[in-house]
Every structure is written in C-alpha cells, then in structure tokens.
Chain A
C-alpha cells in the first residue's frame, strides 16, 4: 500500500480528515508526523531561511521527520479559497520551498488550489492528484465526495459540540467534553482564543495555552467552535470582502465572539506574521469598541513559558476584577 506523508503542521488542522479520507478511498495510507517536539523544531530550524516564520520552520521539521516513512509527501500549494481571497505567500510557495530545502523528501504531491480562478481547474487538479493512485476516474470522483463529506462533518462536529480540532481529531477525547457545549457565563470566565489553527493548537508553539486556560478554570472558545457560516456573516458585517482566505477565522471569529459571547479575547500570533499584524489589529480595535478585555500574545521560538504565564495571569486577574466591579 502506498503511503502518503502528511505533516502535522499548517493546514493539517483544517483539512486532515478530508485528506485522510481521500487518500484512503484511493487505497493509500495517510501517515502523519508526530506532535511537534524539540527535535522537529531543531530539524526545521536548521534548514529554513531565517525570514520564514516559526510555523513554516516547523513545517519543514515535520516533513523531515516523515521523509523516510512515506512514498509521497502531500503538500498542497494553497493559493486561494475564494474569489479575491488569498493565502499567505509562504503557503503558496510551500512545495517549492520544501523541494529546495528538504532534498531527501519523497516525491511531493502539490496540487495547486486556486479558487480565485473558479472551480473548473480544481477538478482537473484533483483528478491528476488522484491519478497517482488510480486510473479509475469514477473512483477518484467518489473519493472527492467522501472527502468533502468528511470535511463538513469534521467542521460541524466542532461547532455542534464546541470542541477544538485536537479534540475532534483525537478519538480519545470524544466522550469527555460535553461540558464545553453551551456557553454558561455564570460559572468561571469565558475567553475566546483567536489565531491560526497551527498556532493555537500546536502546544509546542503556544506553551499549552488552551489547557493552561482550562486548568485556570476558564471556558475556552476558539474559532472552530462557531459555525463557519456565522464567522462569515460576522466577517461581512465589518464591511468589505476578506483579502485573506483565513480572514473569517480570525477577524470574523473576533467579531463573532465580541458580540457579548465572552468575557475577554486572547489573540495569538507568531512573531513576523504579516497578515496577522493587520488582522489582529482589527480585532484589537473592535475589542476596544466593545469594551471587551483583549490580550495579544506574540510568540516566537524563544518565547519563555514564564512570559506567557505572567500575561495570562494578569489578563485573567483583570477580567475577573472588571467583572466584579461591573456586576
């Protein structure tokens, strides 16, 4: 059975269930790299050019860790997921950068996803991707349909049950998390954590932010816990179509949660992210308008755990004291 390597990084958190179903339907096996760890970081960091951001460096580390464990590496070149909405240039160049920096990488499957050009090209792209595994066009079509269904189910499960991708992806979490379903402001604080999935769900990058907050008695809300449509609506309310393909997940999510759903917002971004520097600022600006406490955490490879903890503690103190006064 052919093995397809899927790095546990970047768009993994968004699309893994769809990819897995697609490759399995075509008789291949999806192999995922381990959770980010120091060795993966060190491997990625030693190859990547200095200007790339931490998540991209980690991506290379994940590719390296998979290089001898699969027959193909799946690295889609994500250009655009909607009309005039674009991905960051580092996503677009990901397959090419990988080829240049990780010569030991097995052949890269790099479908170019550019929905700005319409859907026609997409089908051709996916057929040629599928043709590596099957010459039966019907089989490929079925695999695509199954993948789409899996993606929608994954997305719906997160918003229906109020769980994170990590919880949704990890079978072992499936039973325990009913408590996160209904917003209940009366007990403990509700805080929305806003940021790219590969930042807020990679515990190596964010120093276990979400579990720390939960340990501190906070109910955590993340963009995926809202329906995609609700995020898109919130995004449109701000006027103007999004420029970035992931803008609804950040600016839209900020807006969605700011409408009286949480006691505070924590945004998380990695140092040097261009799109975030604009998007986060917009959320910050809106938070001020809503008079909602807002904390931005800027993370980098050397960010100390202590610095994150101090800010979190101070932020929660602030939200609590403020709530006590307002009550």
Chain B
C-alpha cells in the first residue's frame, strides 16, 4: 500500500499524519515540540512506524510548520509547504464548502478566507502572540490548572468576567484583580476564552469577511470554552473537523499527493533509520560582515546537511548539495 506522510513541526507541538492513496488517515501522532524539534521528529517517526500496517510503504514526505525546513532536511522531504496553504487544503478536504478557516495554534493564529474552493485572503497575527494557545497556557498555569481541563471549567461558567485580552501581561493583571475580589474560577476561565476570541477577531480577523461554514482547527480547537466563545461572538455554528489538530500535517500530505501524482515519483524520504541517526546541531557567528549573523547548522557524521540564519546567501548556498 502506498502512503504519504505529512509532518507539521510547530513551535509548541509536532504533528504527523500518514495518508493512504485514498487520502484516508491511517496513522498519526501529536507530540509537544519542547524546543527539541529534531528528537521529537525522530520520536514521532517511531510512533508512525509502530502504527503502520505491515504492507505499507512511505512514497512521499511533506513538511510544514515553522520548523518545516529543518524537518525537511532531517526527514528528506519531497515537498516543503507553508502552513497557511496546508491548513486551507486540509479544511477544504474535510469540509468542501468551507468559506472561513479559523486556526489557532501555539504561537500563531490565522484566518483563511476561501470562496469557491480558492483561498482569496488570509491573515496572521502580527507582532504579538496574545491571541494564541500560549496565551491560554500561560493563564492556565497561573490558575494552577491543566490546559486540558480548561475547556470543561469554562463551560461551567454562568457569569463570565470581562478580561482585557489585548496583551497577555495586561490580561494577567486583570485576571489577578478579578481573583482578588472573589470571582469564581470558572467565570475567570471563560472570561479568558472570550478575551482570546475577542483579540483574535479584532486583530487577526480584522476587516475579514467571515462567512459560514466556519471551520475551526489547530490545537486550541480542543478547548470547548473557546469553541463556545467563538460561536457566541460569530453567531454561527463552528465546525471542528475530526483530527483538527493534525490539519497542517494532513494538508501538507494532500498537497504532496497533488504535486507528485505520477507513479514514477521517487521519494527523498530517508527511511525510518532517521530515528536512529545522530544529528548534530551547532551554531557559529559569521564574521563576513558587520551583521554578525548567527548561523545554525545541522550535520550527520561531520557532514553538514543544512545551514540557516544568515541575512544573505553566503551559508545557505554552501549547504545545498
């Protein structure tokens, strides 16, 4: 059986999705990146190998997410795609008539507008991560609460409090104040959900025409409180597709399938040995000009696979081949 692996290495979580040649999901994994993308990619690949049916064979690998180039080098990717296109393609796969995709991830959030099956506009958070998963995680830890129970707590709220969501720091002082005057935890938690949604709609989605069906995906779509707050704010039912947290990975795999189509395609995938390969990462400061760029490099057995981080092509060019 031919299968295709999509890998989405984000700032907070790493997702992998294995599709068969009917675009059905047959294996997946969802791990925390923990700032160690390479070892998490290796671990994820091991997860996938264990779930794979014996006759399956990986015929292509696609990477996406903020570490897509790194993942591409580690795995031997056939396609490296940005996460916006990947998310859009996956959303259209599960909900063909979708017009708006809301994606809220760990460090960034997006809105994608789709009309007649084509992306017509998108937006991403600009300079601040206030409307994202890390905002919620940060506040949850202040409340001594697991992010997993955040959603169910939020749903208990009867009188949510208003919390300034523009900035995580201000939200925090607002929240502490509400705690001090005796508001219930669930009301504060739901207030935070509403603050995140408000922030998302006022920043990322500012000026964008949000038409139903609205598909909500990304890790934050696990959170029932956010779903409820989003539905209240938009006054429409929000569709959370199955595998919403894997959509980037699934989309990357779908895009790859679209690209290769031919039977003669030969994958660059380095095989499951990657999990055992000893990748070395190191960095140095380039002194070729006053910019003093920090160049990161990844190598195996002393052979450099890729370099990043320069403001010019000096080192990027040296790595290819």
Take A37-B289, A284-B207 as given contacts and tell me if A313 and B85 are in contact as well, using a CB distance cutoff of 8 Å: yes
Q: Which residues from chain B contact A303 at a C-beta distance below 8 Å?
A: 127
Q: Which residues from chain A contact B84 at a C-beta distance below 8 Å?
A: 310-311, 313-314, 317
Take A293-B121, A321-B119 as given contacts and tell me if A310 and B82 are in contact as well, using a CB distance cutoff of 8 Å: yes
Q: Which of A279-293 contact B (CB under 8 A)?
A: 284, 293
Q: Which of B58-89 contact A (CB under 8 A)?
A: 66, 81-85
- In the complex, A310→B119 CA distance in Å? 15
Tell me if B290 counts as interface (CB < 8 A to partner A).
Answer: yes
Tell me if A38 counts as interface (CB < 8 A to partner B).
Answer: yes
B120 touches A318 (CB 8 A): yes
Take A38-B291, A38-B292 as given contacts and tell me if A314 and B85 are in contact as well, using a CB distance cutoff of 8 Å: yes
A317 touches B82 (CB 8 A): yes
Q: Which residues from chain A contact B289 at a C-beta distance below 8 Å?
A: 37
Take A208-B311, A284-B207 as given contacts and tell me if A313 and B120 are in contact as well, using a CB distance cutoff of 8 Å: no
Tell me if A50 counts as interface (CB < 8 A to partner B).
Answer: no
B127 touches A314 (CB 8 A): no
Min CB distance B225 to A, Å, is 28
Tell me if B155 counts as interface (CB < 8 A to partner A).
Answer: no
Tell me if A322 counts as interface (CB < 8 A to partner B).
Answer: yes
Q: How many of chain B's residues have a CB under 8 angstroms from any CB in A?
A: 23
Q: Which B-chain residue is minimally distant from A314 (CB atoms)?
A: B84
Tell me if A300 counts as interface (CB < 8 A to partner B).
Answer: yes
- In the complex, A29→B311 CA distance in Å? 31
- In the complex, A40→B66 CA distance in Å? 29
Q: Which of A291-327 contact B (CB under 8 A)?
A: 293-294, 298, 300, 302-303, 305-307, 309-311, 313-315, 317-318, 321-322, 325
- In the complex, A294→B123 CA distance in Å? 10
Q: Which A-chain residue is minimally distant from B125 (CB atoms)?
A: A307
B118 touches A321 (CB 8 A): yes
Tell me if B305 counts as interface (CB < 8 A to partner A).
Answer: no
- In the complex, A271→B85 CA distance in Å? 26
Q: Which residues from chain B contact A306 at a C-beta distance below 8 Å?
A: 66
One digit per residue, 1 when the CB lies within 8 angstroms of any chain A CB and 0 when it does not, for chain B 270-290 equals 000000000000000000011
- In the complex, A304→B174 CA distance in Å? 30
Contact of A317 among B119, B120, B124 (CB under 8 A): B119
Q: Which residues from chain A contact B81 at a C-beta distance below 8 Å?
A: 313, 317
- In the complex, A103→B99 CA distance in Å? 57
- In the complex, A143→B256 CA distance in Å? 62
A322 touches B118 (CB 8 A): yes
Q: Which A-chain residue is minimally distant from B207 (CB atoms)?
A: A284
Of the listed residues B81, B82, B124, the one surrounded by the most CB atoms of chain A closer than 10 A to its CB is B82
- In the complex, A97→B117 CA distance in Å? 53
Q: Which residues from chain A contact B180 at a C-beta distance below 8 Å?
A: none
Q: Which residues from chain A contact B121 at a C-beta distance below 8 Å?
A: 293-294, 318
Tell me if A39 counts as interface (CB < 8 A to partner B).
Answer: yes
Tell me if A204 counts as interface (CB < 8 A to partner B).
Answer: yes
Tell me if B122 counts as interface (CB < 8 A to partner A).
Answer: yes
Q: Which residues from chain B contact A40 at a C-beta distance below 8 Å?
A: 290
B120 touches A314 (CB 8 A): no
B124 touches A311 (CB 8 A): yes
Tell me if B116 counts as interface (CB < 8 A to partner A).
Answer: yes
A310 touches B83 (CB 8 A): yes
- In the complex, A317→B291 CA distance in Å? 31
Q: Which residues from chain B contact A305 at a C-beta distance below 8 Å?
A: 311
- In the complex, A314→B116 CA distance in Å? 18
Q: Which residues from chain B contact A317 at a C-beta distance below 8 Å?
A: 81-82, 84-85, 119
Q: Which B-chain residue is minimally distant from A271 (CB atoms)?
A: B127
Task: Spell out B's residues near A (CB within 8 Å).
Answer: 66, 81-85, 116-122, 124, 126-127, 207, 289-292, 311-312
Q: A38-B292, A318-B118, A322-B118 are in contact. List 9 more A-B contacts (CB 8 A).
A: A204-B291, A204-B311, A271-B126, A306-B66, A310-B83, A311-B84, A313-B85, A314-B82, A325-B118
Task: Spell out A's residues near B (CB within 8 Å).
Answer: 34, 37-40, 203-204, 207-208, 271, 284, 293-294, 298, 300, 302-303, 305-307, 309-311, 313-315, 317-318, 321-322, 325
The 8 A-B residue pairs with the shortest CB-CB distance in the complex, in nearest-first order: A314-B84, A313-B82, A37-B290, A317-B85, A39-B290, A318-B119, A38-B291, A314-B82
8 pairs, A vs B, C-beta closer than 8 Å: A38-B290, A203-B311, A208-B312, A271-B127, A303-B127, A309-B82, A310-B83, A314-B82
